[in-house]
Chain A
Amino acid sequence: MFDVQGKNGKQVVYIKGEVNAQTGGELKKKVLDMFASHNAAVLSFKGVVYMNSSGLREIIDLLKNANKMKKELGLCEMSSDIREMFAFTGLDKVFKIYETEAQALG
C-alpha cells in the first residue's frame, strides 16, 4: 500500500490506490510510528485514484497528531480530483499541499 523513501531529511510516503477508512487508518499508524524517529513526512498522492470521507478523516487525525508531536506533515502530487475533495471541505487551507514532490521537499 505504501512505499517509503527518505529524501532531503524527510520521509516520503507514496500512497497507492484508494484512501478509505482501512487504508487511511493504516497510513495514519505508519506515519505516526515514523514520527518516533523522524521529524517530517510528505504524503505523495501521485498514485491515489480514489478517496472517501472516511479516509480523509484519518488524514485529518494524522495531521492533528503530527501537530501535537510538533512534526511536519506535507501533502503533494495530487490529481485535480483529489485536490477538489480537499477544497470542497476547506481542508486545502488546513494542510500544506504542494504541487510537486520537489516543492514539498523544499
Chain B
Amino acid sequence: MSVELTRNKDTLRVVIGAENHVEGLNEGLAAVRSESGVYKVILDLKNCLFLQSKSLATILAFKKEIQKNKAELLLVNVSEEVHQLFEMTNLLPLFTISQDYTSFTADELLEKFFDPEEADRVSDFIAENYTDDIKARLYDALAMDDPLLKEYAVLTIGKAHDYDATAKIKECLDSDSGSVVRAAILVLGWFGEVSVRDRLYEFLKSSVSDVAEAAAGSIALLADDSDADKIGILLKSDSPRLRIVAAQALSLINDSQSYSILLEHLKKEKNEDVRAFTVKSLAGFNKPGVADILLAGFDDESIKVREASAGGLVRIKAKDKVEEILKRITDKDSWVGYFAVKALGEMHSEVSAERLIEAYAAVEENVRLAIIEALGKIKYDSSPFLQGLVKDDNEDVRKEVLGALMKIKPDAAAATAEKLVGSDESWLVRFKAVEILDTIKPEGYKDVLRSRITAEDNKYVREKIQNILEVL
C-alpha cells in the first residue's frame, strides 16, 4: 500500500507507505484536490526513511495545492535523513514539522520505549490516548523480562491513572531490575496506594540509584501521622545521600513532628551538604521561627549553608526581616554580606536599595558585585549611582553595571554601552556592551557597531559585531 488516507472532520491525514513514495504522494495529492472542506492536511512520513528528489517536488506541489485552498499543511514523523534533505535543499523554512504518534500501532509505539530520545514523549502520548488495545499491550509488557519495556509500561500505566493495574504494579516491586522497582514505587505513590507504604520502607536502604529517593517520595505522598518518626530514623544513616533524602521527605510531609525532627537534626548535622539541605527543607515550613533559623544560618561556617539560608529567606519572602538582613551586609565575613545582599536583591525590597548604595564603599569586592546585581533587581532608580561606577578599575564591576542598568533603565544602559563599546579597555566589558546594544537596539546602534568593527582587536567582540551586522 503506497498511501493511507483518513479524514477526521476538516483534517485529512495522508500516511505515505514504505515503498513507492512518489506514487503515494501523488495519490495523496489527488485526494487533497478532490476532497472538499479540508482545512488541515497532515502528511505523515513515518514510513519514509529517505526521499528521492521527485518526492520532494510532489511535496512542494502539496504545499502549493493546500495554499490555494488556504488550508494548513503539517509534516509529521520526519526521519533524520529526510529532515537533512529538507535542510540541504533549503526547503525547511517552508514547512511546519512536528512529531505525531497518531498513526502508530500499539506495537510500533511500544517499540519506541527503546529509543531514549522518544521514550518519554511516547509514554506521554500513550497515557493521553489510552485505549483497551494499548492497555492490553502494556499489561503484556509487564509480564515480559525486558526491564526497559517494563519500566516504561509501569510509568505509562501510572500516567494514565489505570488503577485496574494496581496489583500488577505491586508485583513489580519484586523485580530484579532497580529501574522497574523505582517506577513501581513512584506509581504506587501516585495511586495513593497506602497498603504498600510499610513495604516501601525496605527500599529506603537500597543502594540502587534513585530507588531510595523514589521510596522516600512515595512514603511522603502516602504519609500519615506516624511516618515522620519512621523517616526521621533515616537521618541517623551514615550515608549523607540518605540523610538528604530523609530531609526532603520530611519537608514534603510537612507536619509539626517533621519540623521538630529537622530542627533537632540541624543542631547535630556535621556534613555541610546535608546541613544546607536541612536548612532548605526547614524553609518549606510555614512556622513562626523559620525566619530566625534562616538568619542564624548566615553565621554557619559553610558557604553552602549560608547560601541555603539566603535562598530560604527569599522563599518565605521574609520582608519583616529586611532590617536584620541589612545589618548583615557589612558583616566582617564578606560571604555573609554577599548572601545577605543576594537575599535582598531576590526579595526586590525597595527599602534596601538606598542602604545597599550607602554600604557599597565599606564592603569587599564580592559584596560590591552582589550589590550591583541586586540593584538591577530592585524597582528603584539607582542609575545615577550605577553610572558613577562605569569608570571603576574593576572590569567585573563595569560589566555588572551594564547588566544592572539594562534591567532598571534600558535607555541609560544603551547610552553607557555606546560609550564603553568604543572606549573600555576590557574586551569582556566591550562584549557585554555589544550584547546590550543588540538587545535594546537603540537608534543608530548598527552605525556605532560598524564604526567599531575595524578598530576592534578582540576576536570574540569582533565576531559578535559581525554576527549582528551579518557581515561574516
Contacts and interface: CB of A to CB of B under 8 A. Distances in A.
Interface of A: 18, 20, 49-53, 56-57, 60-61, 63-64, 67-68, 79, 81, 84-85, 88-91, 93-94
Given A53-B253, A67-B161, A90 B214 contact: yes
B416 interface: no
Given A49-B316, A52-B254, A90 B217 contact: yes
B286 A93 contact: no
B422 interface: no
B284 interface: yes
B172 to A, nearest CB: 14
B159 A93 contact: yes
B248 interface: yes
A67 B216 CA distance: 27
B186 A90 contact: yes
A53 B159 contact: no
A89 B217 contact: yes
Given A67-B160, A84-B248, 18 more contacts: A49-B317, A50-B254, A50-B284, A50-B285, A51-B254, A51-B284, A52-B255, A53-B254, A56-B221, A57-B221, A60-B190, A88-B216, A88-B217, A89-B221, A89-B252, A93-B155, A94-B158, A94-B159
B315 A81 contact: yes
B216 to A, nearest CB: 8
By Cβ-Cβ distance, the 8 closest A-B pairs, closest first, are A52-B254, A90-B186, A89-B217, A88-B217, A64-B161, A50-B286, A53-B252, A53-B220
Interface string B218-247: 101111000000000000000000000000
Interface in B421-450: none
B190 A53 contact: no
Interface residues of B, number: 34
Interface in B256-287: 280, 283-286
A61 to B, nearest CB: 8
B189 interface: yes
Given A52-B254, A53-B221, A89 B286 contact: no
B395 interface: no
B217 to A, nearest CB: 4
Interface in B116-167: 120, 155, 158-161
Contacts of A51: 254, 284
Nearest to B213: A88
B315 A89 contact: no
A19 to B, nearest CB: 10
Nearest to B252: A53
A52 B256 CA distance: 12
18 contacts: A49-B286, A49-B317, A50-B285, A51-B284, A52-B255, A53-B220, A53-B223, A57-B221, A63-B161, A67-B160, A81-B280, A88-B217, A88-B248, A89-B189, A89-B218, A89-B220, A90-B186, A93-B159
Nearest to B253: A53
A21 to B, nearest CB: 10
B192 interface: yes
A interface, over-half SS: helix
B315 A85 contact: no
Which of A51, A56, A94 is packed against the most chain B CB atoms within 10 Å? A94
Nearest to B214: A90
Contacts of B286: 18, 49-50
A52 B190 contact: no
Contacts of A68: 161
A94 B285 contact: no
Which of A18, A20, A49, A89 is packed against the most chain B CB atoms within 10 Å? A89
A43 B330 CA distance: 41
A60 B252 CA distance: 15
Contacts of A56: 221, 252
Contacts of A18: 286
Given A93-B155, A94-B159, A81 B284 contact: yes
Given A50-B286, A57-B192, A60-B192, A88 B252 contact: yes
B277 to A, nearest CB: 11
Nearest to A95: B159
Nearest to A89: B217
Which of A53, A81, A85 is packed against the most chain B CB atoms within 10 Å? A53
A51 B155 CA distance: 24
